[in-house]
Structure 1
Amino acid sequence: MNKSIRRRAGLSLTAVAVVAAVSACGGEDAKNGAETKLQSGAEVTKVLKAAYQKTEEAKSAKVEMVATMPDSAAFGGGGEMKLSGVMGWDPMMMDMTMSGGGLKMTPGAPEQVRMVWLDNAMYMDTGAAAAKEMDGKRWLKIDLKSLAEQSGSAALQKQLTGSLDSMDQSPAEQIAMLLESKSIKHVGAAKVDGVDTQHYKGTISLEEMLEKNDSLVLGEKERAQLLKGLKGTGISSYSTQLWVNKDGLPVKTDLSMKTPEGVVTMVTNYSDYGAKASVKAPPAAETFDFGRIMEKLGEGMKGLGV
């Protein structure tokens, strides 16, 4: 079996795992000089409900993200992976550049890869060298629903379709998850990249979310979709930190998620809310379907008697 085909498959699934686990580029998180009166529970709820509404209406933002993953096969060898670009929600779309993490663990992989997510499919620019192995096409298309059906494995189908559901998470939904927490609290004033913010945090388990029958901001359908995505990824709990600016918009989130493979952390900085997310899929003539790679892998395994 062609080793380059196996590398391409591994790199592609690593990208899916990282984005699905989706969402520090830094900045200081120091308190302002003067002590700030902490908000009451009612005030925290009021502020975050307003932040949810504003974020939901913004529809898009520029994103800088750092994800730290456990050293497991499911995450392509783990390590730190960086993503930057633009993200839109309702509908979900993104145009990101990815570097680090599994790319470093994959022989022959480029230092960075551009990824486009649109209409429930991911497109990866694998570079000119890889195009030689894909009929001269440098863009790899990964359709998770199709891939799940092709696998013939109920467990893999559940994992892949769960990843698809979890992709559709905006920063507004991260606020919604924080509002689900009984431990939610106001930490105080802080600066993030020189911007004055208010800092909030809370922890909630998937079990607690399932036991709760309503949401302060999500409708029944939206909440059911969110829970479906979380169950599909195997995440058991979330610890969320959120920094909100004077306009009531998140400038930074810090998520720590417990998964069967270990803890995944994602620190994300947001800016330019409402910036047009002009995400376009590559021309069909320049894309190669990931399903064909999986078919070749299957043929190779059969040839080895597996």
Structure 2
Amino acid sequence: MTSTRTRTLAAAALVATLAVGATACGGGKSTGGQGQAEGGAPTKAAAGNPAPAQSPVDVTPVGFLQQVTKKTSEQKSAKITEEIKTQNGDITAAGPVSWASGMQGSMTIQMPMLAEKLGTDGAVDAVYLPDAMYMNMHMPQSMVDQMGGKHWFKYAYADLAKLMGPAGASLKNGLTNADPVTAVQNMIASNQVTKVGPDSVDGTPATHYTADLTLDQLSGQGSSLTPDQVSGLRQQLQSQGISKAHYDVWVSDQGLLLKQESKSETANGPIDMSATYSDYGVAVTAQAPAADDTLDFAQLIQQNGGLGGGLGSGLSGGPGGGSAAS
């Protein structure tokens, strides 16, 4: 039987890695291009150099962001760098990710709180596939021995709702219907978008937009979002205890998302998130680790009678934290 310490580590990393995945490619069905890739296969964008978006001078901020949603979704992949700040610690991550058919990709995540609390080196190797994600948390050998010599945990998305309730169901939807433009959709739904003006992201010319959102503002009025999309956004925020959020996005001259930031007030405290996007159309290959080196997290919990401390307690401000920024 594995120790409580091992189960706590697995739960803590689950919460953090879900947050990373949801921030990188938050939920929301893309209405963009065609040609989805199969799980584990290399995927590349259909459009390498999209035509410039209509000038933001010629359309309203909401109208321009609607173009951004479509053009970014059509690209299907990018290199992503992100940072999540909570009252319990910071998380950083980087790697190539595809959203052609659910979220696929490999990311290297740094979680210093794991090193401090559970004796790891703080690094996590994460693999995201359409039906599950896998994590190697660089555990001490004593913990690897307790897992029968296995180094990877498997977290099937179908188990998230059972383990985490409504927040898990929301995250499952976000990771199986991945798209990086949910923050943009949230801004559109607020109908309160402000154009800040010209800026740059890592030397690339950009236009900066900002919006504040509360549940009361979430109407979708004046936007292309359907009532079902607005309802889904509302349910996502409610399941994570989000009361209000502030969003900033930076968009290239081609209408592609270059950077997003959000500051959210949640039931578990404030969460600040940012993600930058580059190399749109990059080829992405993600494969599951060997089955004989993998331990199923849901089976681990069933065999050991629960988590004994709550899923993700004391780590990242709640299991739904990541989607707020997406």
Normalising by structure 1, report the TM-score.
0.78
| Stretch moving more, 125-134 or 261-270 | 125-134
| Stretch moving more, 255-264 or 2-11 | 2-11
* Structure 1 residue 106: Cα displacement: 2.8
Specify the SS of the correspondent of 1:15. helix
Cα 1:105–1:232 change in 2 (3 A) is farther
Specify the SS of the correspondent of 1:136. coil
Q: Report if aligned partners of 1:166, 1:226 keep a CA contact under 8 Å in 2.
A: no
The aligned residue for residue 55 of structure 1 is 72
1:113 and 2:127 matched:
no
1:201 and 2:218 matched:
no
Equivalent in 133, 139, 161 of residue 146 of structure 2: 133
Cα distance in 1 between the residues matched to 2:307 and 2:89:
30
Alignment of 1:140-179 (within 5 A): 140-146=153-159, 148-149=161-162, 156-167=164-175, 168-179=177-188
Q: Deviations over 1:30-53 (max 9, x none)?
A: xxxxxxxx9669432332122111
1:67 and 2:77 matched:
no
Q: Which has the higher contact order (CA 8 A, sep 6+)?
A: 2
- Greater Rg by CA: 1
Which amino acid is 2:172 matched to? L
Cα distance in 2 between the residues matched to 1:81 and 1:276:
25
Which amino acid is 2:195 matched to? H
The aligned residue for residue 319 of structure 2 is none
Equivalent in 172, 181, 196 of residue 190 of structure 2: 181
Alignment of 1:1-306 (within 5 A): 2-16=3-17, 18-19=19-20, 22-23=23-24, 42-70=59-87, 78-93=88-103, 94-127=105-138, 129=141, 130-146=143-159, 148-149=161-162, 156-167=164-175, 168-209=177-218, 212=219, 216-298=223-305
Decide which structure has greater helix share. 1
* Structure 1 residue 79: Cα displacement: 1.5
Q: Report if aligned partners of 1:41, 1:185 keep a CA contact under 8 Å in 2.
A: no
How many equivalent residue pairs? 273
Specify the SS of the correspondent of 2:286. coil
Q: Which runs of 5+ in 2 are unaligned?
A: 25-54, 309-326
Cα 1:69–1:206 change in 2 (3 A) is same
Cα 1:197–1:103 change in 2 (3 A) is same
Q: Deviations over 1:117-142 (max 9, x none)?
A: 21232210133734322222211001
Which amino acid is 1:50 matched to? Q
The aligned residue for residue 44 of structure 2 is none
Q: Which runs of 5+ in 1 are unaligned?
A: 24-37, 71-77, 302-306
Q: Report if aligned partners of 1:185, 1:201 keep a CA contact under 8 Å in 2.
A: yes
Cα 1:169–1:259 change in 2 (3 A) is farther
Normalising by structure 2, report the TM-score.
0.74
Cα 1:158–1:201 change in 2 (3 A) is same
Cα 1:22–1:65 change in 2 (3 A) is same
Q: Report if aligned partners of 2:194, 2:211 keep a CA contact under 8 Å in 1.
A: yes
Cα distance in 1 between the residues matched to 2:268 and 2:222:
29
Which amino acid is 1:162 matched to? S
Q: Report if aligned partners of 2:82, 2:274 keep a CA contact under 8 Å in 1.
A: yes
Cα 1:226–1:117 change in 2 (3 A) is farther
* Structure 1 residue 101: Cα displacement: 4.5
Cα 1:275–1:226 change in 2 (3 A) is farther
Q: Deviations over 1:156-215 (max 9, x none)?
A: 422322232344452222211111123211101112211111110001112322xx2667
Q: Report if aligned partners of 2:76, 2:98 keep a CA contact under 8 Å in 1.
A: yes
Cα 1:95–1:225 change in 2 (3 A) is farther
Q: Report if aligned partners of 1:11, 1:102 keep a CA contact under 8 Å in 2.
A: no
Cα 1:120–1:102 change in 2 (3 A) is farther
Specify the SS of the correspondent of 2:192. coil
